[in-house]
Structure 1
Amino acid sequence: MNTISNVISDSNSLPVSGPRVVALALACGLAVATLYYNQPLLPAMAAGVGSGPSAQGAITMLTQIGYALGLLLFGPLGDRLDRRRLVACLIPANIAGLVLSATASSLAWLLAASMLVGVTGVTAQIIIPAISSLVAPAKRGHTVGCLMSGLFAGTLLARTLSGYVGEHAGWRTMFALAAVIDVLLFVVVWLCLPANRPSSDMPYSELMVSLGLLFVREPLLREACLAGFLLFGALNVLWGSLALMLQRPPYSWGSDLTGLFGFVGLAGMLASTKIGRLADHWGARNVVSIAAILVILSFSLIAASGYCLALLVLGAIGLDLGSRANLIANQTRLYGLQPEVRGCLNTVFMISYYVGGAIGSIGGATVGGQYGWIGLGVVGGTCGTLALVAGHLVRLSEPVPVSRDRSHG
């Protein structure tokens, strides 16, 4: 039986130039945007298929559950197949999901289309480990940070674009436009993502089993999964409910103004490469702890944002920055853990990450609808507190070996 370490050397890796990284950062942004077009549009989407506010959380939840499922199904294949050909198959399927969303006539159809968009929207999580394997360890954090800047730009611009288009042309038009944007994504990936030889020769079934083995054997992976689950869940407590909350008094905003809220992520996007360098030089675990503290402080502001828009803006900025720091720091240390199975490591981490996001989305929509901003503050702040406490307990119970302190500690 093959083992996780039974690998094939990737002897035909291509140099990763600055322009190639920039182009692939753009691809990451375009790919991940499909997950976030719906967030400012949730009230209009639910109303458009004859459903009430309860459907809003379900749309976001199923998109992210689909994304986690896509990572489980396709993430491990990044270690076994040519990644460029893999994403060339996924993107057309993603286009189909967007077209189905644009033409959905019932809630069931819309939910099914949302899940398909999520399942096939994993291109960015195939690109990132592919490129991280081609750079020197000392530059890995910086390169991952550059790719994540593109990914974060995609989340930011997706919300802003969809909010504007949805308000002035309708949410169905936005999903049709998204399908056209996906065609551009296909071209960029095909031209810029290097073809690669597989880094693993395990059968697919054994590769799937290896995901569980990695989780059992690697305490750093378990630690990263828990932090990702809690802190991305906290982010989605806000974003899963934001359109609903801003639609109500005292704000009474439409989707165009809600979409502008995506710009709160600009500071975090610009800080992404610096976060990557900080993880390289100071230790990823310390960065994750700071991220948890930022989340806690941010939700203390969000809890009072029903009385002051400035508090909501400041809280959202801090929350976004904390979530970005958590993701970049955890991915940086995981990519240096077992280079030959980066795709599998990334898959396990991102599954936990997006399952947390899905639970946060439905939880935020439910709590926000019943208990308002204070309820969101309590739930999100609790997630941040649990992440901080859990990280401290792991630090005490599972000390990192000296050889990994710099990268992971």
Structure 2
Amino acid sequence: MVWLMASATGLIVANLYYAQPLVGPISQATGLDPGAAGLIVTLTQIGYCLGLLFIVPLGDLVENRKLILGALSLTGAALFAAAFSSSAALFLAAAFCIGLGSVAAQVVVPFAAHLSKPETRGKTVGTVMSGLLLGIMLARPVSSLVTDMLGWHAIFVLSAIGTGVLAFVLRSRLPQRVPAHAMSYPALLGSMWQLLKTTPILRRRAAYQFCMFGAFSLFWTTVPLVLAGPQFGLSQTGIALFALAGVAGAVASPIAGHRADKGKTRSTTAMALGAGALSFAVPLLFTQGGYAVQLGMLVCASIVLDMGVSANLVVGQRSIYALGAEVRSRLNGLYMSIFFMGGALGSSLGGWMFAHHGWRGVLLAGLIFPAAALILYATEFTQRAKP
């Protein structure tokens, strides 16, 4: 069941990232202005954020399997609409709905936490999140390869079909889970603000991941433009192979979850945030060397960044899931929506910085995100905050 959930989250969340390396061809095909190309990624993430705030909390109120299948239906329909879009407005609307429906993944993750034992919850969540992060990391190379062979429309058609198959499998395999709550939907949403105000560990962990995911989205939104540019001249296949290197970062998820189960939350957080800063600082400071050296440095930076992001994500989820099963979906919705706002900020900022200040400007902007998280992390010691 854990591996089924891990696979499901990966397949669902991949829908958020298929368009990321295809910003150029999609913009040309739909007539989208190059300066607004970042909206392709940003609107998807905004839809995802809104779904996290208004759909995922329903996991504390309605039967979870039914909620997952409803969200997947929306995703499948939006994917078909994206595949056959001929205008920028239609594609952007479909991108928003893809993000909105893909929050099904974040109903599955707390579901896995419900089914696990408390002493192994971190490892279980880490395994499921490995699937989710593999989906994020594999989405870019898969979409690039499919685009090279069949055109950019094909990846959305294939994903729509895959989403339908996944919905059928989950309907037959997932157990039912009916929450004990009897509150109304407005009361459920109203309780989220109170949870945010009264849960300092949620605010802290969400702030850390806001910064880390902002850096992640900034990097992966702009690096395909750099790789396709005159310095490296890579094709979509070459960019896909580059993105495959980032998959190695997913190995950090179960390791971080296991360390959190052992009470090593604070040290794991420090390593994760430090890895994020290092991934931008090294290519920013070391600009010497030929083609192979610079490309190799970018590959290493992508792996280190993905490891830091995945480790920090799992440790954060492990911390908030320990706060109580009855509020787990709402806490998860708040946590994920806050840090995906960081992702939306990072992707839009990355496109703007690259257009106006080049790759060096992107690296400087990217470094600010983990640096801010490290400054906040330092207050854990000055304020004696609980890790």
**How does the TM-score come out when normalised to structure 2?**
0.95
What whole-Å deviation, never above 9, does each CA across 1:219-238 have from its counterpart, x for those lacking one?
Answer: 10110111111110011111
Q: Any residues of structure 2 matched to 1:315-330 within 5 Å, and which?
A: 315-330=301-316
Q: In the alignment, which of 280, 290, 293 is matched to residue 299 of structure 1?
A: 280
Give the structure 1 partner of residue 37 of structure 2: 56
Would the aligned equivalents of 1:301 and 1:314 in 2 still touch at CA under 8 Å?
Answer: no
Q: In the alignment, which of 235, 239, 257 is matched to residue 238 of structure 2?
A: 257
Would the aligned equivalents of 2:10 and 2:133 in 1 still touch at CA under 8 Å?
Answer: yes
Partners of 1:260 and 1:39 in 2: how far apart?
Answer: 15
SS state at 2:323 partner = coil
Q: In the alignment, which of 336, 344, 348 is matched to residue 358 of structure 1?
A: 344
What whole-Å deviation, never above 9, does each CA across 1:156-176 have from its counterpart, x for those lacking one?
Answer: 221111000112211111111
Q: In the alignment, which of 198, 204, 207 is matched to residue 185 of structure 2?
A: 204
Shift of 1:398: 5.2
Determine if the alignment matches structure 1 residue 338 to structure 2 residue 319.
no
Would the aligned equivalents of 2:20 and 2:41 in 1 still touch at CA under 8 Å?
Answer: yes
Determine if the alignment matches structure 1 residue 225 to structure 2 residue 206.
yes
Shift of 1:64: 0.4
Partners of 2:385 and 2:204 in 1: how far apart?
Answer: 12
Give the structure 2 partner of residue 134 of structure 1: 115
Q: In the alignment, which of 246, 251, 254 is matched to residue 273 of structure 1?
A: 254
SS state at 1:105 partner = coil
Would the aligned equivalents of 2:249 and 2:305 in 1 still touch at CA under 8 Å?
Answer: no
Q: In the alignment, which of 143, 155, 158 is matched to residue 162 of structure 1?
A: 143
Give the structure 1 partner of residue 363 of structure 2: 377
Would the aligned equivalents of 2:137 and 2:244 in 1 still touch at CA under 8 Å?
Answer: yes
Q: Any residues of structure 2 matched to 1:21-60 within 5 Å, and which?
A: 21-60=2-41
Shift of 1:265: 2.5
Q: In the alignment, which of 106, 109, 113 is matched to residue 94 of structure 2?
A: 113
Determine if the alignment matches structure 1 residue 396 to structure 2 residue 377.
no
Would the aligned equivalents of 2:379 and 2:385 in 1 still touch at CA under 8 Å?
Answer: no
Shift of 1:40: 1.4
What whole-Å deviation, never above 9, does each CA across 1:224-265 have from its counterpart, x for those lacking one?
Answer: 111111110011111111222222111122222222222122
Would the aligned equivalents of 2:211 and 2:342 in 1 still touch at CA under 8 Å?
Answer: yes
Q: 1:181 to 1:305 in 2, by over 3 A?
A: farther
Q: 1:395 to 1:202 in 2, by over 3 A?
A: farther
Would the aligned equivalents of 2:56 and 2:104 in 1 still touch at CA under 8 Å?
Answer: no
| Greater displacement, 300-309 / 44-53 | 300-309
Partners of 2:6 and 2:25 in 1: how far apart?
Answer: 31
SS state at 1:294 partner = helix
Aligned-residue CA RMSD (Å): 1.5
Residue ranges of structure 2 left out of the alignment (5+ in a row): none
Partners of 1:76 and 1:136 in 2: how far apart?
Answer: 22
What whole-Å deviation, never above 9, does each CA across 1:279-301 have from its counterpart, x for those lacking one?
Answer: 11143233222211101110013
Give the structure 2 partner of residue 153 of structure 1: 134
Residue identity over aligned pairs, in percent, reads 36
What amino acid maps onto 1:153 in structure 2? Answer: L
Partners of 1:55 and 1:327 in 2: how far apart?
Answer: 29
Partners of 1:288 and 1:103 in 2: how far apart?
Answer: 43
Shift of 1:108: 1.2
Q: 1:244 to 1:80 in 2, by over 3 A?
A: same
What whole-Å deviation, never above 9, does each CA across 1:375-399 have from its counterpart, x for those lacking one?
Answer: 1211111111100111221443252
Give the structure 2 partner of residue 8 of structure 1: none
Would the aligned equivalents of 2:251 and 2:307 in 1 still touch at CA under 8 Å?
Answer: no
Give the structure 2 partner of residue 236 of structure 1: 217
The total of aligned residue pairs comes to 382
Partners of 1:239 and 1:121 in 2: how far apart?
Answer: 19
Partners of 2:50 and 2:384 in 1: how far apart?
Answer: 30
Partners of 1:189 and 1:271 in 2: how far apart?
Answer: 27
Partners of 1:147 and 1:263 in 2: how far apart?
Answer: 20
Give the structure 2 partner of residue 77 of structure 1: 58
Residue ranges of structure 1 left out of the alignment (5+ in a row): 1-19, 401-408
| Greater displacement, 329-338 / 369-378 | 369-378
